[in-house]
Structure 1
């Protein structure tokens, strides 16, 4: 397999939480490329397996590689690298370092220069202890990109000063929420605890890329009949046709649908357009010959070279079309019943047989938005999530509707061992803030929130207890009174 294939499979393994397999695949991918995305994926796998030194090495190398490439995606990867540093330092018990890295992630998301001397690491006292407090971290929203009251929820309450959108609002929110965990730990540490010391710098020294041990060459098989003859190397015979399991032969597929069409992308590298044959019928598509990485020896007449796509609904063959690029085959099929959302795109059956299993009937209720409109390149499940009943957790806590891959969430619990995006939601962070506040602080929060119509939030009862909190909409937003 190519480095790209190893990398894609490694990233997918991280997504599926198969961390040991992910590291093995990404090791192979990174032998020929310093892709920062692959480095960050391997860092996450090492982190989950508690290989924290290796995780930190990959994260810092990813930061430098992304900065040196200077591509359109570089800033996003640098933001992610600083956030990943924050998570790793938290796991190491270095909470001051964790907060510094989270703050740097926020500054990058705000569009600030990567090499700016922002002085974050200089917030220390004469003993070298970090002086930023939990309250300081909560109030640190001056440079928040976009959002404001229009963002909804508690995030919009105290956002009187918001910067223009940068496209990294989600990354900013995630780093901002992470600071609550780092500073929350920090406030309970003894004064002489090493976790209070700042030992990091904004731009870490670039680590040396670790080289994999070179494999010894396979022993050569020589012909002893004549020492002057060149050495002959034994070559393994290719596997016989039909010996590769169907699951390994199947192509990676992605799909999205509209009211009129179902589009399926089959990722086949270097498919030959002049040789490819695609036959649309009412409920299936037969195509081939297909290049398969698991069986590169296949020829046009082999069973492995052909596939039958058994569709999840009916199509109009004459209104369907296909196209080929160097990396994928795209099928754009006109639905026989416009407006009906398919519950699944279908399945691939190896071979060009017309006796493939019958296609499932299309669902008559609208499929979830994620399944209906997910763009090509994003992961989708074949089965519609609308068919899955909501389930609660074992403790009987409420389970709310969610599109998370991990299923329904219990928002009353905070799992510090996992930095899942759902648990980094800023509204969830404010809920935790209220939950951990004193009764007096809770009264102040409720009073300021209600009286200001959701535009202000204060935890200081001495400030808001004796006055009415005025409505303070963000700049550019006008507060209106509604007649009953």
Structure 2
């Protein structure tokens, strides 16, 4: 038994093996492809490659008998360069994760849609906080300082309709009403609503 001279070249998808066997009779050539082995026989000439450096697809691999050589095409199951024909490296497919055991893909939580601020609720909350203080605790309670600070705080962060509602309601009610609802305030003049137990009078009346 003799081993014919051979050489190879490759890319990521295929490896081409050239077996130099001049005057070979195609009818006498025996070639066997397996996932990790290859065998070539022609009379007294035998080439056995096992284990192959990588795994091949036996069904897609093929050979072509020519006048001075036999050209064998190995189709790789896992793309990549081997660097050599045989080797004891582990089966490349063992490093490919199974689709059944792969963790499910992570999905980003859905983005919440921007919500319109409930300005009426904020207004009520701040008014209630102001009412919880007495004049002994805060000398500005019920005074202009508290009203101005509260008005400026809401006005700075409000949208255009909310600002229009605040200005109209506060101005037309003589400072007794502060509304952020333009749909309601824009329909008609805002009435004066003095505190319970008091009477509203125009200046100088």
TM superposition score category, shorter chain reference: 0.3 to 0.5
Structure with greater helix percent: 1
Structure with greater strand percent: 2
Q: Which has the larger radius of gyration?
A: 2
Of structures 1 and 2, the one with the larger relative CO (CA 8 A, separation 6+) is 2
Tell me the TM-score normalised to structure 1 length. 0.18
